[in-house]
Amino acid sequence: MLKSLFNWRVLLNVLLAIVVFVGLVWLTFRWLEYHTKHGQETPVPNVVNKSVYDAVKILEDTGLDYEVDSATYDPKYRPFQVLKMSPSAGSRVKDGRAIQLRVNPRTWAPVAIPDVINKYSGLAFQRINQVGLKIGDTIFEPSIQKDAILRVLFKGNAVKPGTLIPRFSTIDVVVGSGPMRNISIPNVVGLTVKEARGVIARSMFEVGLVEHEDGSKDESDIIYYQDPASGDVRDQGMQIDLWASKKTPAELNAKIEQLNSIYRMKVDTSLPPVRYEEAHNYPAPQEAAPVVQVPVHKTEPVKTEPKPAATKPAASTTEKPKPSASTNTANTGSSNKSTTPTNTPQQPAQKPKAKKVVVE
């Protein structure tokens, strides 16, 4: 077996295989050097802070390719100014290598207007600020949707949600100020249902019940009755009911009279006006405590006889003799019972004493 391995024919074949293998490897590397342009490198020129048009021209003259990418707009730099490049300036690259350029755009990137229609103004303003837009004028317009966003204006024109506009642009908003009070209701009798809807909508009212005489829903039917009546004052946003028919109002007098008896209240002005008085808030009456009867002992009041007033004797021309002392002494007891001395002041009459109540 060893003799067969060292046979000159076997050795020749092995040698030829090695030569072929080495040759293939050498040719492969030579092809790679040619294809990758090994050793043929070009220095990258510095195009930072140059205009993108000048940078592209310099790279093309150098034999290099380029790719332009826009960065976030920065107002500190000029529009279309090269802010960054990769590979960096001074690097050596092969011919045809693409150089990445970051360029400052001309203005802010566009943003979409958020959908804030019919939304509360406080939340809508926050949403608008979050996307990078500014709110200019706030225009109030009568509407039943109080404090709701009705329209969005950009440069005086109404725009729909989703419209792309430059970031940090100023937009105006139309906000509902609430319904107006005591507005005269328009007259839509004689108009078609379609025309009446437009008139009612322009007056900031709403269409309520629409009753067709024949039961159809033909918008070309003529309005022959409405409630409330034209000329009445209502707040905006109230509903107006309509009755429509293919006949004219003149042909439906009986139907109109019937509806008047239902929806038109007649007020009798011959009666005197009712006078209303203000009611006072009196305290609620408290329940009386039960009365307990107790025996009462009555005491008779002390009767006092009023003393007769002293009378002064009339003066006489003849002087009467003075009574003797013995006579005065004897009559003292009897005179004191009936008369009062003139020098003693008269006592006032005593008032009856109050009754004493004794509770057992």
Containing H/E element for 210?
A: strand 206-212
Q: Write down the mean pLDDT value for the chain.
A: 77
Taking 60 as the threshold, does the pLDDT of residue 331 lie above it?
no
Do the Cβ atoms of 155 and 198 come closer than 8 Å?
Answer: no
Question: At residue 132, does pLDDT exceed 80?
Answer: yes
pLDDT at residue 360 above 60?
no
Q: Which of 29-33, 75-79, 274-278 has maximum average pLDDT?
A: 75-79
Give the pLDDT band of residue 282 (cuts 50, 70, 90).
low
Indicate the DSSP class of residue 252: G
pLDDT: is 257 or 284 the higher one? 257
* Each residue's pLDDT tens digit, 156-187: 899 999 999 988 889 999 998 887 888 889 99
Query: Quick one: CA dihedral 172, 173, 174, 178, positive or negative?
Result: negative
Contact 221, 246 (CB under 8 A): yes
125 Cβ contact partners less than 8 Å away, ≥ 6 residues apart: 135, 173
Q: What six digits make up the tokens of 170?
A: 């100023």
Task: Show the DSSP H helices in 187-281 as ranges.
Answer: 193-202, 253-263
CA 145 vs CA 113, 118, 121, 176, 178: distances in Å: 21, 8, 11, 6, 6
Compute the average pLDDT of residues 84-104.
85
DSSP per-residue letters across 260-283:
HHHHS----TTSPPPP--PPP-PP
Short-list 261, 187, 181, 194, CA closest to 228: 187
The answer to whether 237 touches 144, Cβ cutoff 8 Å, is: yes
Looking at residue 330, its pLDDT comes to 39
Here the tokens at position 71 are: 């960065």
Please answer whether residues 212 and 245 qualify as being in contact, where contact means their C-beta atoms are separated by less than 8 angstroms.
Answer: yes
Residue 85 predicted with pLDDT over 60: yes
Model pLDDT, residue 6: 65
102 neighbors 74 (Cβ within 8 angstroms): no
For residue 145, the 8-state DSSP code is S
Q: In degrees, to the nearest 5, what angle opens at C-alpha 250 toward C-alphas 246 and 252?
A: 65
